[in-house]
Amino acid sequence: MSATVAVLGSGNIGTDLMFKVIRLSERLRLAAVAGIDPESDGLARARRLDVATTHKGVEGLVALPEFQDVQVVFDATSAGAHKHNYAVLREHGKTVVDLTPAAVGPYVVPSVNMDAHVHKDNVNMVTCGGQATIPIVAAISRVVTPAYAEIVASIASKSAGPGTRANIDEFTETTAAALVSVGGASRGKAIIVLNPADPPVVMRDTVYCLVPESADHDAINRSVHEMVAAVSQYVPGYRLKQDVQFEPRDGLTQVGVFLEVTGAAHYLPAYAGNLDIMTSAALRTAERMSELRAEEAA
């Protein structure tokens, strides 16, 4: 049994998500795409694919005849717009997968805590940096609780659109909070770097965790590799850049993990791994919602 979905937001993330639903998912059926720019490339492509569209935002979406069958709406707009969008969609009884850093609903990282929240009516996909790094912090936390986790997400400037740039503050705050609440660290800090290099560089993420000096290095290394394998099942371009590093640091051990995320290039360039990991995580979350709800209905 498939679930009918809609995409709210016709920018880079929304358009990439549209292509992922159409090309990759056997459990989701795309009914509509909504935006606010009638000339956007995303709406134009949706129309060419015979998908229902509106340029009147969430109000236009709920007015479409196709909306009646929609069960899940992906919100790929902005943190500022999400609260209004959610209020409207909640009145219609729709589940919302939020790809903005608004953090209205609980944080969801598919490889870590997806099943804990699939029955919520609003789940938050944290940020691109969070989707890339929280699994690693959680992998380390399976062995020992990090006293501190710091992540640096470096992305190509060309892959950061107006929405990403407008949400920089929300990015750092939301990611840092999720490093604690989902990743399991005692404290967290997040930094984002927009790299202007030309040609553009792929997404790179650095994770630093401080753990007790007595922590089992082999167990941490195994756990990290297992988590990388789990994430790569739904984000094929996700990989370790080099071996896990262990360094003494003031009576503690600093664990360093270096990641690279290459996009699948369904719509966006391959260097835009930061956007690809968000849409891939959102797709997997909605699919899991559909799977579990189908099992319960059987």
- pLDDT 10s digits, 238-289: 999 999 999 999 999 999 999 999 999 999 999 999 999 999 999 999 999 9
CA-nearest of 2, 9, 13, 22 to 279 is: 13
**pLDDT for res 290:** 93
Task: Write the single-letter amino acid at 59.
Answer: E
Is 41 exposed, middle or buried (CB count within 10 Å of its CB: 0-12, 13-18, 19+)? middle
**pLDDT for res 297:** 81
Query: Which DSSP symbol is given to 241?
Result: S
Element (H, E) at 17: helix 12-24
Is residue 1 pLDDT above 80, yes or no?
Answer: no
- Pick among 1.10.10.2840, 3.40.50.620, 1.20.58.1030, 3.40.50.720: CATH of 3-125+277-297: 3.40.50.720
220 is in an annotated binding site: no
**Catalytic-residue membership of 128:** yes
- pLDDT 10s digits, 47-98: 999 999 999 999 999 999 999 999 999 999 999 999 999 999 999 999 999 9
Q: In whole numbers, what is the pLDDT of the chain averaged over residues?
A: 96
How far is 275 from 69, CA to CA, in rounded Å?
28
Q: What are residue 51's phi and psi, to 5 degrees?
A: -95, 135
How far is 88 from 81, CA to CA, in rounded Å?
11
Task: Write the single-letter amino acid at 35.
Answer: G
**pLDDT for res 45:** 98
The maximal CA–CA distance of the chain, rounded, in angstroms, is 63
What mean pLDDT comes out for the span 103-110? 97
Contact of 170 with 126, CB cutoff 8 Å: no
Which region holds residue 9: left if phi is over 0, alpha if psi is between -120 and 50, else beta? left
Is residue 163 pLDDT above 80, yes or no?
Answer: no
195 is in an annotated binding site: no
Contact of 203 with 260, CB cutoff 8 Å: yes
How far is 245 from 224, CA to CA, in rounded Å?
11
CA-nearest of 162, 181, 168, 111 to 139 is: 111
**pLDDT for res 77:** 95
**pLDDT for res 295:** 85
Q: Does domain 128-271 have CATH number 3.40.190.10?
A: no
186 is in an annotated binding site: no
Q: Which of 28, 51, 79, 128 is catalytic?
A: 128
Task: Write the single-letter amino acid at 249.
Answer: R
Name the pairing type of β-strands 245-249 and 252-261. antiparallel
221 is in an annotated binding site: no
Beta bridge partners of 206: 152, 258
Contact partners, residue 270, CB within 8 Å, separation at least 6: 202, 237, 262, 263, 264
How far is 227 from 293, CA to CA, in rounded Å?
26
pTM of the shown model: 0.96
Q: Where are the domains of the chain?
A: 3-125+277-297, 128-271
